[in-house]
Amino acid sequence: MKMKKAFFLDRDGVINADHGYVSQPEDFEFLPGVFEACCAIKAAGYLLVIVTNQAGIARGYYTEDDFHALTSWMRDQFRREGIDIDAIHYCPHHPTEGLAHYKQQCDCRKPAPGMLLEAAQRLNIDLAASVMVGDKPSDMEAGRRAGVPQLYAIEGGYALNKDDGVARFPSLLAITQHLFGAGPRQD
């Protein structure tokens, strides 16, 4: 069976503004151009896979159920724009600040590559043909460790200057316009 290629997207800082541990729809602010960019990604034949660290769960700021409720609301917003998100992987852990069983040195919290590797296995993704977009060095490292060669960083509040070889753009839309031109493309 032919392998698929994927766009791995970090959530906070790529899809929505990272206001810090966002857990409610009213705090979820889609960044400009995200829907247009995601349409272009799907039209170019990529799966859309979100990989998000959600240590707010480990820290006790919100529950896993809160996360699922927000995720289902977010999926609906994409669906209303005609976009089907293929998978959403999240890490609820934290190695030192986590409460109870959430305190663990897991292999899913970025910069570990676990979420990307699991999605690749489940969805038959060719990592070498895939793209990772994030806003922190840990996103870039997760992509690198998973074997994703195309790494793109969105310039936001985080220092990314140690990420040599990472292309920097102001938004997801700027990345898709760079890769696919102004409109969506089928290949």
In the list 40, 70, 88, 108, the residue contacting Zn ion (rule: CB under 5 A) is 108
Q: Give the shortest CB-18-to-ligand GMZ separation in angstroms.
A: 5
| Binders of Mg ion in range 104-163 (CB under 5 A) | 135
Side by side, which strands form the sheet with 131-134? 87-91, 46-53, 5-9, 131-134, 150-154, 167-169
How many residues sit close enough to ligand GMZ to count as binding (CB under 6 A)? 12
Binding mask 13-32 for ligand GMZ (x = CB under 6 A): x----x-xx-----------
| Joined tokens for residue 46 | 């990529």
Helix axes 137-146, 114-123, angle to 10 degrees: 50
Residue 141 engages ligand GMZ in binding (rule: CB under 6 A): no
The reply to whether 39 sits in an annotated binding site is no
Pairwise CA distance, residues 138 & 10, whole Å: 10
As a whole number of angstroms, the distance between CA 158 and CA 138 comes to: 10
Query: 38: closest CA among 164, 184, 152?
Result: 184
- DSSP class per residue in 80-91: HTT----EEEEE
Smaller CB separation from Mg ion, 13 or 114 = 13
Active site residue 164: no
Q: Nearest approach, Cβ of 185 to Mg ion (angstroms)?
A: 27
12 is catalytic: yes
Residues in the chain: 187
Of 27 and 185, the one with the shorter C-beta distance to ligand GMZ is 27
Pick between residue 83 and residue 91 the one whose CB is nearest to Zn ion.
91
Residues near Mg ion (CB under 5 A) are 10, 12-13, 135
Catalytic residues: 10, 12
